[in-house]
Amino acid sequence: MGMYLLGVDIGTSSSKGIICDLEGRIISTSSITHMTSIPQKCWAEHNANEVWWGDFKKICAELFYRADIKAKEIAAVGCSGLGPTMVPIDKSGNPLRPAILYGSVEWLLPAC
């Protein structure tokens, strides 16, 4: 049975993660910034493979390294992300275009 909990949040301009024990004590934390593309006025986008999946993998690797634990020691994973957003995918699950960030446009681009 896993002894730790993993949480990751993929946000508009950064991704954050935490590992804690089953009593809630923080074991390790990590955060990284990422780019939000603004290809034209009032548009905000992320490359889903690079930002969403890429950040998740980087955050987890850093958390496991700092905590000095293995993935098999994780009892549960919680993931939080942007909302609402949309990324169209093909039948294999690959993004067809950058993800559209609806919920962050006013914060990123107040003139919209």
pLDDT tens-digit profile, the chain (112 residues)? 689 999 999 998 999 999 999 999 999 999 999 999 988 877 889 999 999 999 999 999 999 999 999 999 999 999 998 878 889 999 999 999 999 887 655 666 666 6
Nearest to 11 by CA among 63, 61, 55, 50: 55
* pTM as predicted: 0.85
Q: Look at residue 83 in the predicted model and tell me its pLDDT.
A: 76
Task: Give the per-residue pLDDT at 98.
Answer: 95
Q: Classify domain 4-108 at the CATH class level.
A: alpha beta
The pLDDT score that the predictor gives to residue 20 is 98
Cα 2 to its chain centre, rounded Å, is: 22
Helix or strand holding residue 61 (H, E)? helix 54-67
| Residue-level pLDDT at 110 | 63
Sequence ranges of the domains in the chain: 4-108
Q: How many Å apart are CA 98 and CA 95, to the nearest integer?
A: 7
